[in-house]
């Protein structure tokens, strides 16, 4: 699917199948959204409203035992909290809960193999897919 703007005034963007429409980064050990994330998610919600379909949010943790977590369960819960924070913001911007699918994968799908602070920071994220 390709999206190249529309009546909402959302800047022209291309969404490739299987690629996230947005990636939201988080500080270590948190699921708090920054003001810039809220702006990004408002734009994503506007795009999703025009496109229709499901919006899938996948939360991720940094690395095993990272982010102050003491267990795999804690990493999973943190990734779920991140996905829920993003989903809540999308709902505040008009996406109905029946269109949302929320997933948490803990540290099971790293974007970058951890080993440095930059790699761990890249893995602390939630991805939004418009399907």
Residue 58 class from Cβ within 10 Å (0-12 exposed, 13-18 middle, 19+ buried)? buried
4-43 confidence digits (pLDDT tens): 444 444 454 567 778 899 999 999 999 999 999 999 999 9
**49 SS3 class:** helix
Cα dist from 42 to 5, 33, 65, 84, 105, whole Å: 14, 12, 32, 15, 24
79-122 confidence digits (pLDDT tens): 999 999 999 999 999 999 999 999 999 988 988 886 788 888 88
| pLDDT value for 116 | 80
Residue-range domain boundaries for the chain: 22-130
| pLDDT value for 18 | 81
CATH number attached to the domain at 22-130: 3.30.1330.60
| pLDDT value for 118 | 84
Q: Report the 10 Å Cβ neighbour count for 102.
A: 17
pLDDT interval class at 2 (50, 70, 90): very low
| pLDDT value for 113 | 80
């Amino acid at each position: 699917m390709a999206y190249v703007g529309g009546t909402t005034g959302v800047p022209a963007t291309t969404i490739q199948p299987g690629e996230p429409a947005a990636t939201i980064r988080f500080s270590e050990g948190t699921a708090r959204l920054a003001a810039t994330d809220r702006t990004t998610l408002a734009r994503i919600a506007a795009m999703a409203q025009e496109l229709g379909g499901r919006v899938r949010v996948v939360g991720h943790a940094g690395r095993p035992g990272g982010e102050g977590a003491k267990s795999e369960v804690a990493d999973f819960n943190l990734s779920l909290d991140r996905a829920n924070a993003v989903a809540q913001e999308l709902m505040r911007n008009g996406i109905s809960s029946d269109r949302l699918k929320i997933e948490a994968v803990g540290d099971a799908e790293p974007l970058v193999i951890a080993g440095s602070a930059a790699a761990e920071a890249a893995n602390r994220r939630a991805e939004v897919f418009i399907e």
